[in-house]
Chain A
Amino acid sequence: MTILIRDIKRIGTGDATRTSIRERKVEAETISIGRRKGSDIQIDALSIQLDHAEISVPSEGDALLRLHGNATALADGRVVTNGKSVIKPGTILRLGPVQITVENNTVDETITLAVESVETRTEAISRDDEDAVFATRSVLPSKRIISWMSALIVLGFFLALPILADRSPAHPIVKASPVQADVSWNSGELSLLHSNLKNDCASCHVNAFEAVTDDTCLSCHTDLERHAEPLDLKKAERPVEGFNAFLTKTSEAFGRPADRCSSCHIEHNASSHIIKSSDAICSDCHAELDKRLPNTDIMNVSDFGTDHPEFRPYVIVAPALAQPLTQRISLDLIPKGNSGLKFPHDLHMADNNAVAKMANTLPGRYGFDDGVTCDDCHSEEAGGALFEPVRMEQDCAMCHSLTFEIEADGYERTLRHGEPDEVIASMRDFYDAKALANIRDTATDSRTRRRPGAAAEIRNSNRRELAFKRSEEVTIGKVDAIFSEGGACYDCHEIERPVDIRTMDFKVLPISVADSFYRRSPFNHEVHEIEGVECSSCHAAETSASSSDILLPKIAVCRDCHIGQASWKAGGDIAAGKYPTNCLTCHGFHDGPHYKPQDGNP
């Protein structure tokens, strides 16, 4: 049997197809097909078994295909597995990549197997994959896309949204936003006092690209004092020159004019103080104030430690009920005050005198265990910064009793403090009442009970008259006593005696006790409660014999601990008991000249 095997190769498509055909004859009944070398039809493909199949052509009838082992093939598209199958002429067999067409040769009635590889194998990876294999960009999204996405997200969330929220707060997108849109713009925590505004940027930042205006600040801070007359303020300032002028111009160019509230009050620094504390803020004007404001009575100052005048407390030179006369006098001049009160501190604070002894008789109840000390009379205010005004009833009365008569049953008759007319009236009432009581006692006596009639009435009337007369005398005497040396009032008060004592027109002169010597720099006692610092460290009360002494420490005393900014920078050390001190340590900018001391109690 002759079988013609026709090996066909083809390349290209369409018109460009090129074909190569080689034919060979095999004289055999069976054609072996497989990967094995020497097979009649050798198929070089790994998917083909060594002995894949055979085609046998019997002398009569159709050819038979036999597959070995697990081999499979397709016959006209149908799967053929092991066993024999008949293949008719025209059948197209498919084994792996190869197609075998079975043809009957009509001339010599042999058969032809046309073998053609129909599947061109390509390697999984070729040089065309250079980028896919080696370039990192082939396995990652493009940097361009990532950049755009991320930049647009940032611009959307952090720029567009906040602006939209500012421009139209009612916009649905703004409403839908779970967090407040402009919260991301907050450059830092607000200071404690403003923290209620933290979710309301627009309360301060009213207009876009406009720096916070003074009007905005003043809309809440309505009761601020002016530091000075605006015109003076302007005049007083040292001309801005050089680099600072450049800075000012630059910030003006950026819409941030100088001399606004927010020039000094810088927000969004959280715990940092909201107020600029550099001395320069003050010394810009105050260092050479006299040059620019010749008429001012404010003295030049530039540094607490080195260039600050002696303190000039407001000293009351003439007490008055309504408006005591005060005068600023430098402590250098050893000013004398006039409060209208007599109070020798030394007497009260001495260790061993009548006062001390008397105090010793009153232990426990008033805390005089260790003699009379400052806090027995001076009690701190709630904040501790200043002291409560000294009150007679509270702070003096434990020793200075206003008792003017002790009744038989021990009841102490006391006088009202602070109202001389009332004092006189109540004493007169007391003694009149006492006189009347004596008359009543006589009338009920049987010896004097005579027959009723005019004579008795006259007699009674005379006795009453007499009694009142006597009581008047007693009263005058008693009143004169309390308003005279040794009397309860006289000890502490200046008394104006009447020309005619019988008129009992005693007057207590008005008392004015300063509740603040320093109007621009209220002193804070509490912060000075430090180990080793006693009242007497600053106040020379123990040696003061007169209430006209101004018991304020001079600046030198302060400077023992407080050093100016210049010295602080040169080497201040808190551990060594030196504290940095700037203008704002004592002064407040807004504690202006319109500050009035409260008309308080004596």
Chain B
Amino acid sequence: MAQAKHSSFLTYRGGRWAKFALVFSVICIGLYFAFDFEPVRNGGSWYGYTLGTIGALLILWLAWLGVRKRRYNPGNWSLKAWTSAHVYLGLSLLVIGTLHTGLQFGWNVHTLAYALMVLVILSGMFGVYFYITVPRRMSDNRAEASQVEMLDELENVSRLLRETSLSLQDADTQRILDMLAKTTLKSGVMTRLRDSHVRCPNARALKDFKVAVRTIEGDVQRGMFDVISVLERRDSLLGRIRRHQRYRALLELWLWIHIPATITLIALLIVHIIAVFYYQ
């Protein structure tokens, strides 16, 4: 029977890298306690140097993903496999790095490097979490519409709104004009993460119009009902766009910590290694 074709990077080859990372971490922990390291267990012992070397090389290798994934050809390689290895070996780095410190911390570059490494790994864990949870919601939300299609649709609906609003009374057209001018989507990153839709000028105008429409009648009322239906269409579209913005922010934002922290970590690793040998 054919097996299911789609498999996530987390389950790549039955979690090959997860197993590898786990075994490797357990071995490292075992060795850590198996030997005597006088006078303390830390980076200065031979095991400490070994773990440090492995850790530093691992960090460089993990960071190399940024280059590897962009060197598309030639290649008999799968980015999924690399991602899988990146995630699990990255997690094992937490073990290697911690053992390397021997839990000796202080206000110095060495501990700073460790802290930064933990920051990188934590941000990566957030990334994995979002990679697992967001896509399905994003897919449901966009419902086949591409980003450009959403914007085109918004442009159409806005145009339709302008056209439909032409029959409104003068005060109401002004309201529509103001509302159009205030509706923005190029919002800052925090706004994107929050559910900012409730404060949308469009939503408020919709609410007001729904109240106002009850007090009028005849053609004017029919005209306003038309406008309300367009506003509702626009409201749901704006909601969809904002949710899409939010999902994309969730999927991408962690990288703003992960990448700069990684680069800084590499710089700090250089400092750490030079410092250790400069004043050895």
A and B touch in the complex (CB under 8 A): yes
A residues with a Cβ closer than 8 A to B are 35, 37, 44, 46-47, 49-50, 69-70, 121, 123-127, 129-130, 132-140, 143, 146-148, 150-152, 154-155, 158-159, 162-163, 166, 182-189, 201, 205, 208-212, 247, 250-251, 254-256, 266, 269, 272-278, 281
- How far apart sit A225 and B249, CA to CA, in the bound complex (Å)? 69
Question: Considering the complex of A and B, which 3 residue pairs feature the smallest CB-CB distances, nearest first?
Answer: A147-B263, A151-B267, A136-B252
The smallest C-beta distance from A557 to any residue of chain B, in angstroms, reads 28
B280 touching A210 by the CB < 8 A rule?
yes
Please encode chain B, from 89 to 122, with 1 for each CB lying within 8 Å of some chain A CB and 0 for all others: 0000000000000001011111010000000000
Determine, out of B4-12, B20-28, B72-80, B152-160, the stretch whose residues face the partner at the interface. Answer: B152-160
Chain B 176-203 interface mask (CB, 8 Å, partner A; 1/0): 1100110111111100100000000000
Are the C-beta atoms of B270 and A155 separated by less than 8 Å?
A: yes
Q: B244 near A134 (CB under 8 angstroms)?
A: yes
- How many whole Å from B247's CB to the nearest CB in chain A? 10
* B245 in contact (CB, < 8 A): yes
Given known A-B contacts A126-B155, A269-B40, A255 and B189 have beta carbons under 8 A apart: no
Check if B280 sits within 8 Å of A211, measured CB to CB. Answer: yes
Q: Are A134 and B245 in contact (CB under 8 A)?
A: yes
Shortest distance between the CB of B276 and any CB in chain A (Å) = 7
Task: Report yes or no: B183 in contact with A124, Cβ–Cβ below 8 A.
Answer: yes
> Does B274 sit at the interface, judged by CB under 8 A?
yes
Return B3 CB to nearest CB of chain A, in Å. Answer: 35
Task: Report if A130-B279 is in contact (Cβ < 8 Å); known contacts: A146-B260, A155-B267, A187-B108.
Answer: no
B165 at the interface (CB under 8 A from A): yes
Contact B152 A127 (CB under 8 A): yes
- B268: chain A residues within 8 A (beta carbon): 154, 158
Residue-wise, chain B 243-280 has the 8 Å CB interface mask toward A (1 for contact) of 01100110011011001111110111011001111111
Asked if B186 contacts A188 (CB within 8 A), the reply is: no
- Chain A residues closer than 8 Å to B266, beta-carbon distance: 151
Whether A154 lies near B155 (C-beta < 8 A) is no
Instruction: Say whether, besides A150-B264, A151-B267, A247-B46, A187 and B185 are in contact (CB < 8 Å).
Output: no
Q: Return chain A residues, CB-CB under 8 Å to B38.
A: 266, 276-278, 281
**CB nearest to A271 among chain B residues:** B40
Binds A, one of B54-62, B167-175, B209-217: B167-175
User: Which of B44, B155, B264 meets A125, CB within 8 Å?
Assistant: B155
Please tell me if the beta carbons of A127 and B263 are within 8 angstroms of each other in the complex.
no
Q: Could you list 26 A-B pairs, sorted by A, with CB under 8 Å? A: A37-B167, A46-B162, A124-B184, A127-B148, A133-B147, A133-B151, A133-B241, A136-B192, A136-B252, A137-B252, A151-B264, A152-B267, A154-B264, A154-B271, A163-B278, A184-B108, A185-B275, A189-B106, A201-B279, A211-B280, A266-B44, A269-B104, A272-B39, A272-B40, A277-B38, A277-B39
Docked complex: B216-248 residues within 8 A CB-CB of A: 241, 244-245, 248
B64 to chain A, nearest CB (A): 15
Check A209/B110 contact, CB under 8 A, given A123-B155, A272-B40: no
Q: Which of B106, B147, B173 contacts A35 (CB 8 A)?
A: B173
**Complex Cα–Cα for A183 and B169 (A):** 73
CA distance A184 to B260 in the complex (A): 21
- Are A143 and B155 interface neighbours, CB within 8 A? no
CB-nearest residue of chain A to B255 = A143
**Which among A44, A138, A212, A269 has the highest number of chain B CB atoms within 10 Å?**
A269
Q: Are A139 and B277 in contact (CB under 8 A)?
A: no
Docked CA distance A121–B180 (Å): 12
Which residues of B are found within 8 Å of A154, using beta-carbon distances? 264, 267-268, 271
Whose C-beta in chain A lies nearest to the C-beta of B170?
A49
- For residue B42, CB closer than 8 A to chain A, the reply is yes
The listed residue (A47, A150, A186, A205) touching B260 by CB distance below 8 A is A150
Cα of A127 to Cα of B154 in the assembled complex, Å: 9
Other-chain residue from A140, A211, A266 in contact with B256 (beta carbon distance below 8 A): A140
Q: Is the CB of B277 within 8 A of A209?
A: yes
Interface residues on B, range: 35 or more
B260 A254 Cβ-Cβ under 8 A: no
Partner of A46, one of B177, B185, B274, B276: B177
C-alpha gap A325/B279 in the complex (Å): 50
Residue in A70, A129, A185, A201 whose beta carbon sits within 8 Å of that of B109 in the complex: A185
Which of chain B's residues has its CB closest to A185's CB? Answer: B275
Q: Which residues of B come within 8 Å of A, CB atoms?
A: 36, 38-40, 42-44, 46, 104, 106-110, 112, 147-148, 151-152, 154-155, 158-159, 162-163, 165-167, 169-170, 173-174, 176-177, 180-181, 183-189, 192, 241, 244-245, 248-249, 252-253, 255-256, 259-264, 266-268, 270-271, 274-280
C-alpha gap A152/B256 in the complex (Å): 17
Residues of A within 8 A of B163 (CB): 44
Using A159-B271, A189-B106, A247-B46 as known contacts, say yes or no to A124 and B180 having CB atoms under 8 A apart: yes
- Contact among A70, A138, A185, A272 for B108, CB-based, below 8 A: A185
Give every chain A residue within 8 A of B42 (Cβ-Cβ): 188, 269
- Residues in A whose Cβ lies below 8 Å from that of B112: 158, 184
| Contact in complex: A123, B159 (CB < 8 Å) | yes
B108 / chain A contacts, CB cutoff of 8 Å: 183-188
Closest B residue, CB atoms, query A251: B46
Residue in contact with A139 in the complex, picked from B154, B167, B186, CB distance below 8 Å: B186
In the bound complex, residues from chain B placing their C-beta under 8 Å from that of A35 are 166, 173
> In the complex, A201→B275 CA distance in Å?
12
Judging by beta carbons under 8 Å apart, are A276 and B39 in contact?
yes
Min CB distance B125 to A, Å, is 19
Rounded to whole angstroms, the CA-CA distance of A277 and B177 in the bound complex is 83
Q: Per a CB cutoff under 8 Å, which of A129, A136, A159 touches B274? A: A159
Report the bound CA distance from A201 to B260 in whole Å. 31
Name A50's contact: one of B36, B170, B184, B255 (CB within 8 Å): B170
How many Å from the CB of B143 to the closest CB on chain A?
16
Q: What distance in Å separates the Cβ of B246 from its nearest Cβ neighbour in chain A?
A: 10
4 extra A-B contacts, CB within 8 A, seeds A186-B108, A276-B39: A125-B151, A133-B185, A146-B256, A184-B107
The answer to whether A143 and B280 touch (CB under 8 A), given A136-B192, A188-B106, is: no
Complex Cα distance, B46 from A273, in Å, reads 19
Q: B139: shortest Cβ distance to chain A, in Å? A: 15
Cβ-defined contact, A187 with B106, below 8 A:
yes
A470: min CB distance to chain B, Å: 78
Cα of A568 to Cα of B90 in the assembled complex, Å: 38
Q: How far is the CA of A363 from the CA of B190 in the complex (A)?
A: 88
| CA distance in complex: A533, B184 (Å) | 84
Q: Which residue of B lies closest to A47 (CB)?
A: B177
- Give Cα distance in the complex from A37 to B164, angstroms: 12
Contacts A146-B260, A150-B263, A186-B108 given; does A139 touch B187 at CB 8 Å:
yes
Is A139 touching B192 in the complex (CB atoms < 8 A)? yes
- Docked Cα-Cα span, A580 to B96, in Å, equals 30
Is the Cβ of A50 less than 8 Å from the Cβ of B249? Answer: no
> Complex Cα distance A130/B146, Å?
10
Question: Residues of A contacting B180 with CB < 8 Å?
Answer: 124
Considering the complex, give the chain A residue whose CB is closest to the CB of B263: A147
**Given known contacts A44-B163, A44-B166, A269-B104, A205 and B279 CB-to-CB distance under 8 angstroms:** yes
Q: How far is it, in angstroms, between the C-alpha of A136 and the C-alpha of B169 when the chains are bound?
A: 40
Q: Of all chain A residues, which has the CB nearest B167?
A: A37
Q: What residues of B have a CB within 8 angstroms of the CB of A50 in the complex?
A: 169-170
Q: In the complex, which residues of chain B have a beta carbon less than 8 angstroms from the beta carbon of A138? A: 186
Q: Which residues of B contact A269 (CB under 8 A)?
A: 39-40, 42, 104
CB distance from B65 to the nearest CB of A (A): 14
The interface residues of chain B lying within 8 Å CB-to-CB of A274 are: 39
For residue B79, give the distance in angstroms from its CB to the closest CB of chain A: 19
Q: Determine which of A69, A137, A159, A276 lies in contact with B170 in the assembled complex, contact meaning CB atoms within 8 Å.
A: A69
| List of A residues within 8 angstroms of B107 by Cβ | 184
Give the distance in Å from the alpha carbon of A49 to the alpha carbon of B277 in the complex: 79
